[in-house]
Structure formats: C-alpha cells, structure tokens
Amino acid sequence: MNSDSLTPRGNWGSKVAFIFAASGSAIGLGSIWRFPIMVGLNGGAVFVFAYILAVILIGFPLMLTELTIGRHTQKNPVGAFKALKPGTPWKLVGYMGVFTGVCILSYYSVIAAWAAGYLYKTLFGAFRGEITWAVSDQIFSSFAANPLEVLLCFFVVIALTTFVISRGVKGGIERWSKILMPMLFALIIIMAIRALTLKGAGPGISFYLKPDPTKITPKLFFYAVGQAFFSLSLGMGTMITYGSYISKKDNLSSSAGWVCFSTTLVAFLAGIIIFPTLFATPGINPQEVQASTGLMFQVFPLIISKLPGGYLFGVLFFILLLVAALTSTISLLEVPTAFLIDEHNWRRGKAAVVIGTAAFLLGIPSALSNGASPFLTRIGLMMKMDLVFGNIMLAVGGLFITIFVAYAWGIPQALKEIAQGNRSFKVKPLWVFSMKYLAPLAIIAILIFTIILA
Ligand code: PFF
C-alpha cells in the first residue's frame, strides 16, 4: 500500500506528472472512439475545423479556468464553489458536475468494456490474417449484442477503475500514464501512416480534410463544442479536481496548452486512421456506416490486419486503448470520490466502491442497448445518454463555470492565481475575452439553436 492511500489527498510529483495524468484523463475513447463518429455525423472536414476552433477558443480557456479554480481552492468541484462563494447556489454547479461524472462513467465504461473484449478477441486470434469489412462488422455486432460478454467486461472495467481510485492519486493515476501514453501515441502514428498509404485512401482523406461549406449547420457547432468539452474532460469539474493537486510553482497555462494539444493531436490522428481506411475498404458504402456507434471497432481491425506483425500490433494496441480508457474512467470516478472524501469525510476506499457500484448499475441498460435488448437498442439508449450527459450537461456545466469566473468570482482573482508560476501570461487576452464574452455567448447560442432545431 502506498502512502497516498493513508492520506485522502495526494499531490502530483511534478508538472510533467500532472500533464501526463491530465492528458490521461483527456485522451481516451473521446478522441479515438467518439471524435470519428462526430466527424461522420457532421459532414466530415467542416467538423474537424469546427472542433479545432472550439478547442482553441473555448476548450483551452475553460481548461485553464478549471485548473485555476482547482489549484486556488485545493478542492473538489462542490467544495471549490462553496469556498469561493459560500452560502450561494453556485455549489449546485459542482453537484451537477458530480452527477454528470457518474452518468458519463456509466456508459463510457461500456465502450471501455468493448476495448477490453477486443483485447481478448485479438489475443485469441479473432483478427488473424486479412480481415474484410463483412467479418469485422459481424464480429463487432455479435460481440456488442452478447449481454454476458459485454456485462462481464463492463464489470471488469468498473472494478479496475475502482481499485485504482481507492489507492489514491499518485499511486494510481500517475504510474499508469507515464509509460503507456507515449506508447499509444507511437502506435497511432504507425497506423495513421499505413492508412494514408492505402490504395484508394484519397476519397477518405478528402472527406476528412477538405471542407464542404454546404455541410455547415448550427448543430455542427453544438457537437463541436460538446466534443471539445468531452475530449478535454471539461464542464464537470474534472480539471478542477485535477487542478487541486497541482503545485503553486507550476505554469497552469502551459500545462493546459499541452493537454489540449496532445488530445487534439490524438483525435486528429484517429480520424486519419479511420476515414481513409473506411473509404478504401471494398464492399461498403461509407455514408452508411460513418456515424455508426461501433465505427472505431469495425475499422481498426482492418488496418491492423494490414500491418506487418499485425497480431502482436493488435494485441498491443488494444492493451493501450484499454489503458487510455482506464485513465479516463479513473478521472471520471475521481470527481465524485473526491467530493465524498472532502465534503462528507468518507474514506477513499468506501467512496470509490459506492460510486463504482452506482455507475455499474446505471450502466447496465447502456450495455444492453447495442443489440442485446431490442427495446433499448431501438431507443439507442447509449447514444442518448451520450447526447444528454456527454454533450448537453458538459456544455451547460462549462457555461456556468465561465459565468462564474467572469462575473462571480472575478477575472482579477483568477489572474492572481494564474500569475503564480506564470509571470508572463501571454494568452491573457484570449483567456479574458473567451471567459467574459465568447465562451458564454457561444454556448448559449448553440444551446438555444439546438433546442429550437431539435
Ligand atoms: N476526456 C475523456 C475522453 O475523451 O475519453 C472522457 C472524459 C473524462 C470526459 C473525464 C469527461 C471527464 F470529466
């Protein structure tokens, strides 16, 4: 047992350790599984550009804000709002974040369970040799529709997550991220290069990188901002919680910048793998499958089977994908756990087990909504959960956090905190402009448009 599990609150070892841990939270299924689906759903390249804009103009500034609130208060989201504006309803934003975290954890862990299932399928040779679309599609649909297999993997994911969180911050999160994230990155680059050199990759590359202005819609921006929040772990206080473990000597703005950059790069490369491969694969109509829930799982085996040493490559890739997913699930579980420790004096272990169990029970319907239960499949429950919690709730949470920093806590107070460890805050104009006007107005406009158009 490490010393962190004895004291409920730990601290990051260094700035680099923090960047790895926060990138571990950010980089995960949001970039590799969810981003390509959003690209497929929203007209290709126009979405890629809207997403990058959303990261720079809203995501990065909001991440800096969350880290600042976290480091200043040294608290979980509920405690942070209570400390900064005692006796006001602002703490509700924190409660909303805790609740959103449990709900996202519930269905996100189902996708992580798919990654776990793909790991043992690859290990047992399901993807040996040349894989066709028909085979890959069949493997995915029969796996996702098998309740026993999926629920078992789902249980394992939640159990692993709960175990890591119950052991505390340093011992758990840091150790995992430092070695494995760079490895994942290397594998993704190799696959991206292979995908780009496929015969017939051209149409996929154009779909992904050549914007078609007729595809621009208000909804696109809603999804782009939602995707930016989701992939950067923003809008529910994860970065407030992670920020609470950062040292006063660290530069918050450059830390946030690194996390945003690495996450966006991974998402971008995931698309570079998926679309050229999809468009170059015979026997499918890309338009029909480009927004499928299982897109990543259907397409990645195709490219892996085209690499030399495909078997080992596949095994390694799914190990790393699972780890990337787990570094995100542990950050989702850390928010409600830190809340119960700080606000209700629970022991870390008990808090983690109780929330983990709740997320498991809540996630069962999502686990069954991809073929196992005809009713839940028809409603598309998992993607509905994702729309409500992964898009809308994060956007609403992000909106309140920006309004809070700009108009309740105050820009000067936040600037004082940012100045510690960062004498020359170069992107100050962008941050101030985004918090005061751009982020709140854009999110409000997007939410209104979407409600009217829905
Ligand atoms: N950012 C994670 C991913 O992209 O996989 C998912 C996530 C983690 C979202 C933590 C929100 C969060 F608070």
Say if CB 59 and CB 26 are below 8 A apart.
no
Which tokens in the block code for residue 78?
A: 């509920």
Please give the share of the chain, as a percent, with pLDDT higher than 70. Answer: 95
Domain count, the chain: 1
DSSP string, 369-382: TTTTSHHHHHHTHH
State the pLDDT confidence band at 10, using cuts at 50, 70 and 90. Answer: low
CB atoms closer than 10 angstroms to residue 387: 16
Lowest mean pLDDT among 53-57, 164-168, 344-348, 437-441: 164-168
Say which DSSP state 145 is in: T
pLDDT, position 172: 54
User: What CATH number did the domain enclosing 434 receive?
Assistant: 1.10.4160
CA of 214 to the centre of ligand 1 (A): 31
| pLDDT category of residue 1 using cuts at 50, 70 and 90 | very low
**DSSP category for residue 283:** T
Range(s) of the domain holding residue 10: 3-453
| Residue 341 predicted with pLDDT over 80 | yes
Integer Cα distance of 257 and 237 in angstroms: 18
Residues 202-211 have a mean pLDDT of 96
Cα 343 to middle of ligand 1, angstroms: 23
Q: Is the CB of 230 under 6 A from ligand 1?
A: yes
Interacting residues of 408 by C-beta distance below 8 A, sequence separation 6+: 84, 85, 88, 90
Q: What number is the average pLDDT over the span 446-451? A: 82
The yes-or-no verdict on residue 14 having pLDDT over 90 is no
End-to-end C-alpha distance for the chain, whole angstroms: 51
Mean pLDDT over residues 3-32, rounded? 74
Kindly report which listed range (178-187, 257-266, 385-394, 409-418) carries the lowest average pLDDT score: 178-187
Residue 31, ligand 1, Cβ within 6 A: yes
How does 134-163 read in b/e, with b if 16+ C-beta sit within 10 Å? ebbbebbbebbbbeebbbebbbbbbebbbe
Give the length of the chain: 454
pLDDT of residue 6: 35
Q: Cα 135 to the chain's mean position, in Å?
A: 29
Mutation pick for ligand 1 pocket among 51, 263, 332 (CB with most ligand atoms within 8 Å): 332
CA angle 35, 116, 245 (to 5 degrees): 65
Across 380-389, average pLDDT? 95
Counting ligand 1 atoms within 8 A of each CB, the residue from 111, 238, 401 with the most, and so the one to mutate, is 238
pLDDT-derived band at 388, boundaries 50, 70, 90: very high
pLDDT of residue 173: 59
Measured distance CA(156)–CA(224) in Å, rounded: 32
10 Å CB burial of residue 426 (0-12, 13-18, 19+) is: exposed
- Greater confidence, 309 or 386? 386
User: 119 versus 285: which is more confidently predicted?
Assistant: 119
Confidence band of 176 (pLDDT split at 50, 70, 90)? low
Please state the atom number of ligand 1 nearest to the C-alpha of residue 232. Answer: 1
| Per-residue pLDDT at 336 | 95
Give the distance (Å) from ligand 1 centre to CA of residue 91.
22
Closest CA to 395 of 13, 62, 53: 62
Q: Please determine, for residue 170, whether its predicted confidence score (pLDDT) is greater than 80.
A: no
Residue 429 confidence (pLDDT): 96
* pLDDT for residue 274 is more than 90: yes
Check residue 9 and give its pLDDT: 56
d(CA 289, CA 37) in angstroms, rounded, equals 9
User: Tokens in use for 381?
Assistant: 């429950």
For residue 2, the model assigns a pLDDT of: 36
Contact 54, 271 (CB under 8 A): no
What would you report as the CA-atom Rg of the chain, rounded to the nearest whole angstrom?
Answer: 21
Pairwise CA distance, residues 390 & 381, whole Å: 13
Return mean pLDDT, the chain. 91
Is it the case that residue 171 has pLDDT exceeding 80? no
Return d(Cα 27, Cα 327) in angstroms, integer: 8
